[in-house]
Amino acid sequence: AQSVTQLGSHVSVSEGALVLLRCNYSSSVPPYLFWYVQYPNQGLQLLLKYTSAATLVKGINGFEAEFKKSETSFHLTKPSAHMSDAAEYFCAVTLDNFGNEKLTFGTGTRLTIIP
Amino acid sequence: GAVVSQHPSWVICKSGTSVKIECRSLDFQATTMFWYRQFPKQSLMLMATSNEGSKATYEQGVEKDKFLINHASLTLSTLTVTSAHPEDSSFYICSVGRRERNEQFFGPGTRLTVL
């Protein structure tokens, strides 16, 4: 079975500083990995996804993530934090070329931006 | 991309009553929809996979007789929480899978509060 682990349930960074949210995965086969963002009382919005086409994935709002097989990691980064980035972030994994396969989510990381 | 709606966005009910939540795929015919539950400050947990024209597939530990899922058409799936109790209070989110996009699209969620 596949799983993801998000290190750090809460991360605080200053506005303009680097954002780094960590995600490690466990999978018996090559996984498909996703980062989602959730604002309060809302559904999830896809930030980016890894589907084996390229190890460095660029997403919306200036976020990117790098798939590192040797480290089984898929960390999310953004060079300069903005106040609007404050939200909950979820890493997720699935095994199939997707659409009809369930997602397994990490426990989430709450990002706080300090003015 | 696909747009997914949920109705209602929030509902408060008395213990013992049943509540129906609708999930609609507005611009895509979805053979598969997913229902997730999210407790406060926690991650999303898959409850069941809803398949059009057939019975839903429930995750381990989810009571199928309590959480009734009906995928009546290619654009509508409903989740009925029967005989709701306070412990059923949660944020319920549906999603639609699109195989060709290798992605799930999430609804805005329904917050259920059982008094």
Burial class, B100, CB count within 10 angstroms (exposed 0-12 / middle 13-18 / buried 19+): exposed
What single-letter DSSP state applies at residue A51?
-
pLDDT of residue A27: 83
Chain B residues lying within 8 Å of A103, measured CB to CB: 34, 44, 46, 95, 104
A97 pLDDT exceeds 70? no
Mean pLDDT of chain A, nearest integer: 90
Q: Which residue has the tokens 């980035």?
A: A85
User: Is the minimum CB–CB distance between A97 and chain B shorter than 8 Å?
Assistant: yes
Q: Tell whether the model's pLDDT for residue A52 goes beyond 90.
A: no
Of A70-74, B16-20, B93-97, the one with minimum mean pLDDT is B93-97
* Residue A26 confidence (pLDDT) above 60: yes
A5, pLDDT greater than 80: yes
- CA atoms of B78 and A86, how far apart (whole Å): 32
Whether A25 has a pLDDT exceeding 80, the answer reads yes
A98, A104, A107: residue with CB nearest B103:
A98
pLDDT tens digits for B74-110? 889 999 999 999 999 999 999 988 766 667 889 999 9
How close B82 comes to chain A (CA, Å)? 23
Please, which pLDDT band fits residue A37 given cuts at 50, 70 and 90? very high
Contacting A with CB below 8 Å, chain B residues are: 4, 6, 31-32, 34, 42-46, 49, 91, 93, 95, 97-104, 106-109, 111
In the A/B pair of chains, how many CB contacts fall below 8 A? 64
Minimum CA–CA partner of A4 in chain B:
B43
Give the mean pLDDT of A43-53: 87
Output phi, psi for B87, to 5 deg. Answer: -70, -10
Output DSSP code: residue A84. Answer: G
Do the chains contact at B106 and A43, CB–CB below 8 Å? yes
Whether the per-residue pLDDT at B35 is higher than 60: the answer is: yes
